Structure 1
Amino acid sequence: MSKAMDDLEARAQRSLERLRDLADEMGAVRGRETSSDGVVTVVVDGNGALQELKLSAGIAKLTPAEFERLVVDTVSRAAHRAFAERGDLVAAFNEEAAE
């Protein structure tokens, strides 16, 4: 093969490897958040799906509406954190690809 083809193949292989790395990194993204009162702790994946929910005994003092709001707000903040991390990964990938 010619040098140009060899270089093209090597670049394509590096791009493929970097894409696989990005997929692995995206799959590993987790957002963890604890409510300000420490009652609720959640972990979400990179898509914002709830992976873990930990509750302290303090939930006994909450009304159902307060409990619901606390869980939803805490999950929302965790998802925001996970989405920001994913965004950073994609931005870094795009910057690297543009070089």
Structure 2
Amino acid sequence: MDVVETMDELIARVQQQVYRLTDLRDAMTGILITETSSDGTVTVEVDGNAALTGLSFTGAISKLTPEQFEKTLVDTARAAAHRAVTELGELINDFNAESTR
């Protein structure tokens, strides 16, 4: 890390880090993933923590057996959660990579 020679340089560096952290927080809270099952019957929405924020079904779910419905719901939710966690990880990795420059 570079040596800071003046108080102004130190303040500027700290402010820049605060801005970067704020940008990271905003990006993390802005993650919203929507995933629809391959048959279109189930749509799941999750946030960046992979917490369920929305769930909808089409009328076609009435044609599914309980086992098919369960599998479709779980698989769709799992796919949405995986995408959310992946996106969150990419944001953190990018932040860390910029911090080491």
TM over 0.5: yes
Aligned counterpart, 2:67: 65
Match of 2:95 in 1: 93
Taking only aligned residues, the RMSD between alpha carbons, in angstroms, comes to 1.4
Q: Secondary structure at the match of 1:78?
A: helix
Structure 2 length as normaliser, TM-score? 0.90
TM-score, normalised relative to structure 1: 0.92
How far does the alpha carbon of each residue in 1:49-99 deviate from its partner, in whole angstroms, 9 at most, with x for none? 111111011100112222111111101000100111111111111111111
For 2:98, the aligned partner's letter is E
Structure 2: gaps of 5 or more residues: none
Q: List 4+ stretches of structure 1 deviating above 2 A.
A: none
Give the corresponding residue for 2:9. Answer: 7
Task: Show the counterpart of 2:82.
Answer: 80
Aligned length: 98
> Which deviates further from its counterpart, 2-11 or 40-49?
2-11
Instruction: Please report how far the alpha carbon of residue 19 of structure 1 lies from its aligned counterpart in structure 2 after TM superposition.
Output: 0.3
